[in-house]
């Protein structure tokens, strides 16, 4: 059976020397800030990726062929951690990944 940890917020507030209302307001502010920061970082990353895709376009590299996408290293590493070492060699995986992340596709 799973155990659930439910903190006693009033005790934590007393330990910090705050009232319960102040403590909860600060906790809510912290959670909202963290969520907004993650959304902002995700939006920034998508904007940079669109810029790279638009400006570099579909370059042709001798011996490699035409560029299909510009994948940030963080997305590359996250996919390897989530799906395994050989995921980028799988054509179906790349197709689905580009479908879900259209902003990374190289543009002509």
pLDDT tens digits along 2-38 = 666 666 666 766 777 777 777 778 778 877 777 778 7
- Of residues 72 and 108, more confidently modeled: 72
Residues 6+ apart with CB under 8 A from 49: 70, 72, 101, 103, 104
Domain ranges of the chain: 9-104
Return the number of other C-beta atoms located less than 10 Å from residue 77's C-beta.
10
The residues that bridge with 65 in the sheet, in sequence order, are 61
- For residue 81, the model assigns a pLDDT of 92
Determine the Cα–Cα distance for residues 54 and 1; give it in Å rounded to an integer. 52
SS (H, E, C) 23-53: HHHHHHHHHHHHHHHHHHHHHHHHHHHHHHH
- For residue 31, the model assigns a pLDDT of 77
The mean of the pLDDT values for the chain is: 79
Tokens matching residue 90: 């799988």
């Amino acid at each position: 059976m799973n155990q659930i940890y439910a903190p006693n917020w009033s005790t934590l507030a007393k330990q910090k020397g705050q009232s319960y209302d102040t403590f909860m307001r600060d906790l809510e502010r912290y959670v909202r800030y963290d969520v907004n920061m993650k959304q902002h970082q995700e939006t920034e990353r998508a904007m940079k990726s669109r810029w790279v895709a638009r400006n570099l376009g579909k370059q042709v590299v001798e011996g490699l062929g035409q560029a299909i996408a510009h994948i940030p290293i963080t997305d590359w590493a996250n996919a390897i951690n989530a799906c395994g070492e050989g995921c980028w060699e799988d054509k179906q995986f790349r197709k689905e990944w580009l479908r879900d992340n259209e902003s990374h596709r190289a543009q002509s």
